[in-house]
Every structure is written in structure tokens, then in C-alpha cells.
Amino acid sequence: MSAGQGIDPRPAQAGLVVSGVTEYPHGIHAVDTHYVRPRLDASHLVVERGRAAFVDTGTALAVPHLLAALESLGLGPEAVDWIWLTHVHLDHAGGAGALLEQLPNARVAVHPRGAPHLVDPERLVAATRLVYGEAAFASLYGTVRPVPAARLVVTEDGDRLALAGREVTFLHTPGHALHHQALHDPAADAVFAGDTFGVSYRELDVGGRAFILPATTPSQFDPEQLKASVARIAALAPGAVFLTHYARVTGIARLAAELTAAIDRYAALTREHATGPDRAARLAASVYEFHSAGLDRHGYPADAAARHRLLDDDIALNVQGLLSWIDRRR
């Protein structure tokens, strides 16, 4: 184990962490992609009978960490059969092309709406630059490589793909993005939810209970679609959901109810602050107050500085998505 890591004392969510790879049952491993800060962004590595699949890849800068995770498990690049993408936002799929170049046997599974952006990522890159700014883009995302069309598998709703006989079902789950899908893995009693089932950082766990907030980033957020997708995942009654931000959460019925209530509150706050000067700042302050009150009820003891450190970046992006949504409705 690397210095300062060891075993996390919160067993309901955390698992065993070794050198940035968190091991869970059923051959699932959360690999820290080192995006922005530790334990913000995960790629999930699934291993079944010596064969492997990555669920999301992180950015192009994550590729060395993903290959190192394989090596730590005694696997080589040739053992990877699949890259399964929940959606094509660059913190989830920006590394797909660069990783695929290192994986001789792998194919990439993606939602039909996402496939064109993998083959030609320029529009997606340009849109991400608009959100984050030119200066931050290179340091956050590196060089986004295209995925050859011949190595793509487009997944329709309900399609099943197998890893060494272990079947995973792809479920289209719009609301965060129109090109979003979740992966139901019955063998693990789990769903890989990307961003549809929100964001939950392990630093906010209290007594093994997760705290969750929606992901409403630009530019395709739709509250009714997102609530329906959350309900679809909850209806599967999985024992766990794996989030890109970050890793495993349990207590899915409770979290689904909290997500649904938060989406409704987001929509109400956005309507309240839809117009007028400094609307983004006013909306961000209201969203922070909403979540800070939720953290109080959750029993989270840290002060406002710690809360802002963990929440402000997500809130700023969520506000952009919320205002984009309300502007489309006019």
C-alpha cells in the first residue's frame, strides 16, 4: 500500500484501496483517474475469468493510471475486451481513443448519440473548451484521440454485451445527457450509472451513509427525464450503484428519493433565479445553501470551508446546466 492510503474505515462505500485502485466484490475495481483531485473521477475496471472491461476511462491523461491498474492486477493490455462508456463527456470518455490505441483486442460500446463524437471529437472538444476555458482545457484533458469506427459497438436500449460470459445490459438513461446510458450488471447486483445517479464523494460519507447530489452540467439537463432515469435505476433494486464521481454507493432507495427531491428543488430554485443581474451567482448561493442544510441533516461535521472545497466546482457546473435548461424553455 502507498503511504497514507491503507484501508478506509467506512466499509459500506469504501472497499480496500491500494495505490489508487479500490477493490470491491465481483471483480470490480475503482481506478482513480487523477482528474482535478483525488477520488473525484473513477474508471471502473471489471475483471471476469482473466478478461477485463473498463467502464468509462476518464480523460486522455488517465491512460497511464488505467494501464498501471491492469498491471497491478496481473493483467496485460491484451486482456481487455471492452471499453463500456456511460456517455461521452470528456471526464468520462476523453481517454477512450488514447486508451484504445494501447488495447489490441478491445472495442468501445457507446450510446448511438455518442458514437459520432468519438469518431470525430472536435465538436465535443470545442464545447468543453467553452465550459472550462482554453487555459484549463489542456491541463485537464490532454489530447483527445478519435476512436476508429470499426472498433465501435453502438448500444441500443436493452442491448446486452458479455465479458467472459458475464452479461451486462445497457439502459438508455437521459436527463444528464441525451447520450447517456447505464449498465446493469446482475452478477454483481450493481448498476454502473455514470452521472445519471448523481455525484457522491466519499469524503462526505457519515457512518457509512453516502450523501448525494444531482449532476446537471451543460447542456442537455432535463429534470423530468433525469427523474425518470433515476427511477428506472432504482426500480432494479441493485445492492450498489457505481458512480464515476465517486465509486460505490449503497442504500439505493434512500439515495433515489433524495436525488429526486434535489432535482425538484434545483428546478424550483432555477425558476426563482432565472432572470435578473448576477443570476448565476444567486442561483449558486441558493444551491449551496440547499446542500449545506442537507449535510447538516446528514450529520456531516466539517465547516463551510470544507463544504465549499468539495461542492463548489460541481455547483458551478450544475448552475450552468440549470440556466441552459431554463433558457431553452423560454
- Report the CATH number at residue 53: 3.60.15.10
Give me the helices (H) in the chain, please: 63-72, 90-93, 96-100, 115-119, 122-132, 134-141, 223-235, 252-272, 279-298, 304-328
| β-bridge partners, 247 | 243
- Whether 276 maps to a domain, the answer reads no
Cis preceding linkage at 246, omega within 30: yes
First to last CA, the chain: 54
How far apart CA 129 and CA 138 sit, in angstroms, is 9
> DSSP readout, 23-75?
EETTTEEEEE--SSSTTS-EEEEEEETTEEEEE----GGGHHHHHHHHHHTT-
- Whether 129 maps to a domain, the answer reads yes
Query: What's the one-letter identity of residue 144?
Result: V
- Whether 86 maps to a domain, the answer reads yes
- Whether 29 maps to a domain, the answer reads yes
Can you give the pLDDT at residue 62?
96
Q: In what order do the strands lie in the sheet with 16-18?
A: 16-18, 21-24, 28-32, 42-48, 51-55, 80-84, 107-110, 152-154
Can you give the pLDDT at residue 295?
98
Number of domains into which the chain is organized: 1
What is the pTM (predicted TM-score) of this model? 0.93
Can you give the pLDDT at residue 8?
34
- Whether 93 maps to a domain, the answer reads yes
- Whether 3 maps to a domain, the answer reads no
**Coil vs helix vs strand at 91:** helix
| β-bridge partners, 24 | 28
How far apart CA 265 and CA 279 sit, in angstroms, is 16
- Phi first, then psi: what are they for 255, rounded to 5°? -65, -40
- Whether 312 maps to a domain, the answer reads no
Domain ranges, residue 92: 16-251
Provide the 8-state DSSP code for 326: H
**How confident is the prediction along the chain (330 residues), in pLDDT tens digits per residue?**
222 232 233 334 545 555 689 999 999 999 999 999 999 999 999 999 999 999 999 999 999 999 999 999 999 999 999 999 999 999 999 999 999 999 999 999 999 999 999 999 998 899 888 877 888 888 999 999 999 999 999 999 999 999 999 999 999 999 999 999 999 999 999 999 999 999 999 999 999 999 999 999 998 999 999 999 999 999 999 999 999 999 999 999 999 999 999 999 999 999 999 999 999 999 999 999 999 999 999 999 999 999 999 999 999 999 999 999 999 998
- Whether 147 maps to a domain, the answer reads yes
Does residue 320 contact residue 227 with C-beta atoms inside 8 Å? Answer: no
